[in-house]
Amino acid sequence: MKIDSVDFFYLAMPEVTTAADGSQDALVVRVSAGGLSGWGECEASPLPSIAAFVTPMSHGACRPVSATVLGATLDGPEDIKRLAGEVAFNSMDLLQAAHTWSGIEMAMWDLLGRSREVPAWKLLGYDKAFPKTPYASVLFGMTPQNTLERAKEMRGLGFRAAKFGWAPFGQSLTSDIAHLDAAREGLGRDGILLIDAGQVFGEDVDAAALRLDAMERNKVTFFEEPFHGSAYLAYGQLSNRTKTVKTAGGEAAHNRQMAEHLIDFGKVGFIQIDCGRIGGLWPAKQVADYAQRRGVTYINHTFTSNLALSASLQPFAGLEEHTICEYPTTLQQLAVDLTTNHIVPDGNGEIRVPDAPGLGIEVSPRALTRYAVDVEIKVGGKTIFSTPVY
């Protein structure tokens, strides 16, 4: 097959706020080849990601992603791996290319899986997929009381595990301790409690470490993204100071090496990969293999639609011991409506990666129209991008 076209659908809620809620917009990608289509989603800023596909070339090492992808051969997994290397080289100086490519790569696995009638996780090399224990991924409440209520609510919905993240966490030690206590109280003694600091401590290891006592006492399983995504030394120092709590991170990785470095130098106990940023399913699968060899637990990072959730489950679907997975529970309506089928917890509170061809998720044509953001980009008087009509 030859890749005939790559279409980008920029979708957004009517109102987008400064909440740390990644489901307020979406960049959905459709790759067409051999009369088939596959779908992916970039976990990225839509407009710059579209620009990275359509922009004129700057020079040989700063080519648009389209230059490598359009017209390329796609007959099997080896083609996807080869194209990944070519995009990395040809778009070396185009920073946003990694995020653009991520959604395209994902769509290619979906397309190949549909073509061969096998799930993507089988194409990645797994024989069997194991159930995962979803943790409800929510934001902290504005007050400890709100956090307590949110934790109880998640427990009431059947979640054994919950992750609380972002503001107001990090604003004051007293407040943080109150939120940690509240989250544990709401979740109950046996719940799995996870904390996401959203990089709020920058590189300040001491400030982050001040929260460790309250975390140990509240039996927090992991302390996610205390620092800037590239601050491996700060991660490493904090990791050396924890006892029962482990550090977690990796969502900022936009290539495989960054995730491996966070394991080796940041000494994280949990590596969290977003397939919509790291370059898709294949680098994520390589990180999962690497994590396993290093005794680190692999987890997906997902805060968008079920299309992205399915994609991010594929790379560790076959790892039986890596059981917890991120499961966004307070999605904006756009992210809910985007797919016609959904991944939902079963009676045991567990979820399963779809056992259907490709990613096993159907994109809703209605949502592509309903939430469409109209974009037109002209360069040198010529329209190089306009919102595709579904």
Nearer to its own copies, 130 or 390 (CB): 390
Minimum gap (Å) between residue 225 Cβ and its own copies: 9
Minimum gap (Å) between residue 258 Cβ and its own copies: 6
Beta bridge partners of 296: none
Nearer to its own copies, 22 or 318 (CB): 22
Nearer to its own copies, 65 or 359 (CB): 65
Minimum gap (Å) between residue 344 Cβ and its own copies: 24
Beta bridge partners of 193: 162, 220
Q: Which of 51, 95, 63, 57 is nearest to 375 (CA)?
A: 51
Euclidean distance between CA atoms 81 and 180, whole angstroms: 43
Nearer to its own copies, 36 or 88 (CB): 88
DSSP string spanning 165-176?
ESTTTTS-HHHH
| Rounded to 5°, angle at Cα 243 from 145 and 203 | 75
Nearer to its own copies, 199 or 218 (CB): 199
| 3-class DSSP state of 341 | coil
Minimum gap (Å) between residue 347 Cβ and its own copies: 33
Nearer to its own copies, 46 or 250 (CB): 46
Q: Which of 90, 85, 83 is nearest to 59 (CA)?
A: 90
345 by Cβ neighbours in 10 Å (0-12 / 13-18 / 19+) ranks as buried
Minimum gap (Å) between residue 18 Cβ and its own copies: 4
125 by Cβ neighbours in 10 Å (0-12 / 13-18 / 19+) ranks as exposed
- Compute the residue count for the chain: 390
Q: Which two three-digit tokens encode residue 354?
A: 């779809």
Structure letter (DSSP) for residue 159: -
